[in-house]
Amino acid sequence: MHQKSLVELAADLRSGACSSEELTRACLQRIAEHDGRLNSFITVTESQALAAAQAADAALRSGKAGPLTGIPFAHKDIFCTNGVKTSCGSRMLDNFIAPYDATVTEKLHEAGAVMIGKTNMDEFAMGSSNETSFYGPVKNPWNDTTVPGGSSGGSAAAVAAGLVPASTGTDTGGSIRQPAALCGITGLKPTYGRVSRYGMIAFASSLDQAGPFTRSAEDAAIMLGAMAGFDPRDSTSVDRPVDDYRAQLNEPLQGLRIGLPGEYFGEGLEAGVGDAVSAAIEEFRKLGATVTDITLPNTHLSVPAYYVVAPAECSSNLSRFDGVRFGHRAENPQDLTDLYTRSRGEGFGDEVKRRILVGTYALSAGYYDAYYLKAQQVRHLIRDDFMQAFRQVDIIMGPTAPSVAFKLGEKADDPVGMYLSDIYTIAVNLAGLPAMSVPAGFSNAMPVGLHLVGNYFEESRLLNAGHQYQQVTDWHTRTPQGFE
């Protein structure tokens, strides 16, 4: 059961080959057996999951089922879930039982999907290795001495290990695509504004966007279809109809114009990753695509711009955690300042503190123009680079991450080194474009991801390219040893 795709499982549910309750119990069993060594879940919601599965079975019997009815999924612990602990990977919210549902939670529930638990993540989504979580690191199913990537590391590891067929994630600088690459699965970050941020705990509001993890592009199309849509409760949500993301999946790639930015294939790229990506591009050529060299000249400025914009917005967003209305509160505060200072000091971990400090500095009196404004101007230049490129090509391709999964602890004392593991993904968030990572082979026995970047709202085109590639390759079907 755990080797099947979401599409195959949905067919089994419709034909009656299995029930949602059986499927849900099988996932719970997989978690009980395997998650001890992965640590991909913070909370498993067994009783709610079984109740939701029984409701889904009733819907299936009455013929009212959609493509996700009865399908178990894991939800990143950044999405509010009414009545269920929503920790965001932080001690600050270890005691927080969300009093309402995020829009994404609501939409997946309405689609009949069965939430099986909440997944581990870097604290407040700040990290690229899942090592900053208050609940301990997640292990990569392909090698448990390496990281799964981050920040959505638990969601990626859970799908890669076959604990669930799908999961949700959020991506502020690469937090869906980089863990998808490092764990050998498919991950999609939609256009900024496509999926509602309501009830999704904010990190950097002008960059945050939610999306799915699945094994295949076809499965991702189904998940995205349920997650996307205009939401008046999110002020940056885009009022535009949602495409039928499956409609274009089977279109041939004849004539597709692929651009390869020279900047993504230079210094710092692991040779084995570069080889796997080149082989993947060759497959696209065989499928009828044309390949052109392009340039994104301001690429080198994307990580520096990000590490001004993201901490600045984080320092503002995280000011709401003050020990007064919800979350961790320090014992016996002397006065109000002591209450704020100690609650925040005790509740936040090291990386979160670092980013709050950087952001506070960048926004403090006299520095705003030099840092935040400058970074927002550079952001404009980065978007212009992409717009220039999309006059010549339909999809930009390259590696998702510069290396395969690195060792646990390897970059723990080197924040800037850690930040550079998102070097190919960050520019996409700054520009707000949709992008996807698909499994594209192995380097040193660890998965490599191919990064596909599209123009605004062209998720269907990315999914089409990913699906066609997955018809001629089988990387996305590989299962790590010990999880077969």
Partner 1 sequence: MALDASDVEKIAHLARLGINVDDIPGYARNLTDILSFVEQLNSVDTSGVEPLAHPLDATQRLRPDVVTEGDNREHFQQVAPETEAGLYLVPQVIE
Interacting residues with partner 1 between 451 and 470 (CB under 8 A): 456
Interface with partner 1 (CB under 8 A), residue from 80, 224, 375, 465: 375
We find the least distance from the C-beta atom of residue 262 to partner 1, in angstroms, to be: 18
Q: Does 11 bind partner 1 (CB under 8 A)?
A: no
Active site residue 85: no
We find the least distance from the C-beta atom of residue 415 to partner 1, in angstroms, to be: 6
Interface with partner 1 (CB under 8 A), residue from 135, 264, 371, 390: 371
Can you tell me whether residue 472 is helix, strand or coil? helix
CB 125 within 8 A of CB 175: yes
Which of residues 342 and 451 has its CB atom nearest to partner 1 in the complex? 342
Given the rule CB under 8 A, which of 31-39, 165-173, 350-358, 469-477 is the region that contacts partner 1? 350-358
Active site residue 175: yes
Query: Interaction with partner 1 in 178-217: which residues (CB under 8 A)?
Result: 191-193, 206
CB 185 within 8 A of CB 213: yes
Q: Does 15 bind partner 1 (CB under 8 A)?
A: no
We find the least distance from the C-beta atom of residue 140 to partner 1, in angstroms, to be: 26
> 327: which 2 tokens?
């979350």
Interface with partner 1 (CB under 8 A), residue from 305, 408, 440, 453: 305
Which of residues 159 and 428 has its CB atom nearest to partner 1 in the complex? 428
Please state, in angstroms and rounded to a whole number, the distance separating the CA atoms of residues 24 and 33.
14
We find the least distance from the C-beta atom of residue 101 to partner 1, in angstroms, to be: 13
In this structure, the dihedral spanned by the alpha carbons of residues 477, 18, 29 and 482, taken in order and rounded to 10 degrees, is -20
Which of residues 206 and 473 has its CB atom nearest to partner 1 in the complex? 206
Please state, in angstroms and rounded to a whole number, the distance separating the CA atoms of residues 231 and 239.
8
Q: Does 91 bind partner 1 (CB under 8 A)?
A: no
CB 209 within 8 A of CB 190: yes
Q: Does 97 bind partner 1 (CB under 8 A)?
A: yes
Q: Does 158 bind partner 1 (CB under 8 A)?
A: no
What contacts 16, CB < 8 A, 6 or more positions away? none
CB 449 within 8 A of CB 440: yes
Which residues are 438's β-sheet partners?
450
Q: Does 333 bind partner 1 (CB under 8 A)?
A: yes
DSSP state of 35: H
- Out of 5, 175, 216, 315, the active site residue is 175
CA angle 141, 142, 144 (to 5 degrees): 65
Active site residue 76: yes
Q: Does 232 bind partner 1 (CB under 8 A)?
A: yes
CA angle 383, 389, 468 (to 5 degrees): 110
How many residues touch partner 1 under the rule CB under 8 A: the total is 71
Residue 325, number of CB atoms within 10 A of its CB? 8
In which region does residue 213 sit, left (phi positive, over 0), alpha (psi from -120 to 50) or beta (all else)?
Answer: beta
- Out of 90, 128, 133, 151, the active site residue is 151
Q: Does 96 bind partner 1 (CB under 8 A)?
A: yes
Q: Return the active site residues.
A: 76, 151, 175
